[in-house]
Amino acid sequence: MRPYKVVITDHSFPGVATEQSLVEAAGGCLEVARCKTAEDVIKACGDADALLVQWAPIDERVLRSLPRCKLVIRYGIGVDNVDLAAATRLGVAVANVPDYCIDEVADHTMALALSLGRQLSAIQERLRAGTWTITPPAPMPAFRDMTFAVIGLGRIGRAVLGRALGFGFKLAAYDPVLPLQAFHDAGARRLTLDEAFAEADMLSLHIPLGPETRHMVSADRLRAMKRTAILINTSRGGLVDTRGLAAALEAGLIAGAGLDVFEEEPIPPAHPLLRSPNTMLTSHVAWYSQASISRLQRLAGEEAVRGIKGQAPRNQVNP
């Protein structure tokens, strides 16, 4: 019998020795491709039993062209580059790695929130320009008087609220699928989606991207927020209408925004957000620490081993 074949469609890691040792120890074989397009995946992975995928598109055409493939593992949390509905129809399990960077993303979220809340960039810019004053450029409420709300009370959302509690924020959350007990356990007031936008002083997004959540933060939603509110997105770029956000910032409809993810990455040089006031923009680095890379590769490799052994994935995301 041929060994179970795992193909890494694409990756940005220094190496894949961890995955290779795990797969080979379980009796499988590992190949590494450099796919950027669906056509690349079809060409390189035709006889794969499982795929390890970072950014390559895995659409229905790809899945139909890989008849042996019954497992797709995404290096990371988001799976919006995988057609989940098609995978389900074709009997392909899709798994992600949702727990490799919880602390890193929660820390980055709070770094953005705290920096914007204390107006650090604006104060530093003013100081470097030669202005010394001991009051900030805009009104600055104390954190203890502010509501920190998360949209999405999963692993990262809970970790963010735990950090926000340490700074004295009042906690709140919106999550349509969790029971009331989950909000009690997090020490957070349960909000509707409309209430989250209307009442949050800090609003942080921690939900998957899908057809129902794309542009959840729309121009209308931004108009519903407090003029003193700050928006944070370390989740998925498509959750926010970024051009609408740029317009809202320019008009002073909200006080600021911190984004690590964007609808198009890298963000285009002419994008209006790059000129927007009161923003902190980072280049999709919230996930990163020296430890998180090795953890991601190990956990993804372990999912591949489950496939080799005929076991169900630990973190399957489709029915």
Per-residue pLDDT, 273: 98
In this predicted structure, the answer to whether residue 261 has a pLDDT above a threshold of 90 is: yes
Per-residue pLDDT, averaged over 134-162, amounts to: 98
Q: Which residue has the tokens 């090795």?
A: 294
For residue 223, give Cα distances in angstroms to 156, 246, 247, 265. Answer: 27, 12, 11, 26
Q: Is-cis flag, bond preceding 141, omega within 30? A: no
Distance CA 152, CA 142 (A): 25
Q: Name the nearest CA neighbour of 235 among 116, 54, 101.
A: 101
Distance CA 159, CA 108 (A): 11
Q: Name the nearest CA neighbour of 263 among 240, 286, 282, 285.
A: 240
Element (H, E) at 203: strand 202-205
Per-residue pLDDT, 11: 98
Q: The whole model's pTM is what?
A: 0.93
Handedness of CA 251, 253, 259, 265 (dihedral sign): negative
Q: Render pLDDT for 203-242 as a digit per residue (tens, 0 to 9).
A: 999 999 989 999 999 999 999 999 999 999 999 999 999 9
Q: At what angle do helices 17-25 and 290-308 cross, to 10 degrees?
A: 20
Q: Taking phi first (over 0 means left), then psi (-120 to 50 degrees means alpha), and beta for anything else, what does residue 119 get?
A: left
Q: Render pLDDT for 267-297 as a digit per residue (tens, 0 to 9).
A: 999 999 999 999 999 999 999 999 999 999 9
End-to-end CA distance of the chain: give it in Å, rounded: 30
Handedness of CA 159, 164, 168, 170 (dihedral sign): negative
Give me the active site residues, please. Answer: 236, 265, 284
Q: Render pLDDT for 89-116 as a digit per residue (tens, 0 to 9).
A: 999 999 999 999 999 999 999 999 999 9
Handedness of CA 185, 188, 194, 195 (dihedral sign): positive
Please enumerate in sequence order all residues whose Cβ is within 8 A of that of 258, keeping only pairs 6 or more positions apart, or say none: 112, 113, 115, 116, 230, 231, 232, 233, 279, 280, 281, 282
Q: Which domains does the chain have, with CATH numbers?
A: 5-100+290-308 (3.40.50.720), 102-281 (3.40.50.720)
For residue 4, give Cα distances in angstroms to 28, 48, 92. Answer: 5, 8, 15
Query: From the CB of residue 298, how many other CB atoms can be counted at a distance below 10 Å?
Result: 15
Distance CA 251, CA 225 (A): 13
Q: Render pLDDT for 7-54 as a digit per residue (tens, 0 to 9).
A: 999 999 999 999 999 999 999 999 999 999 999 999 999 999 999 999
Cα R_g (the chain), whole angstroms: 21
Q: Name the nearest CA neighbour of 10 among 39, 48, 40.
A: 40
Distance CA 65, CA 308 (A): 21
Q: Which of the four pLDDT bands, split at 50, 70 and 90, describes residue 163? A: very high
Per-residue pLDDT, 120: 98
How many separate helices (H) and strands (E) can be counted in the chain?
12, 12
- Reading the block at residue 138, the tokens are 């805009």
Per-residue pLDDT, 307: 98
In this predicted structure, the answer to whether residue 1 has a pLDDT above a threshold of 90 is: no
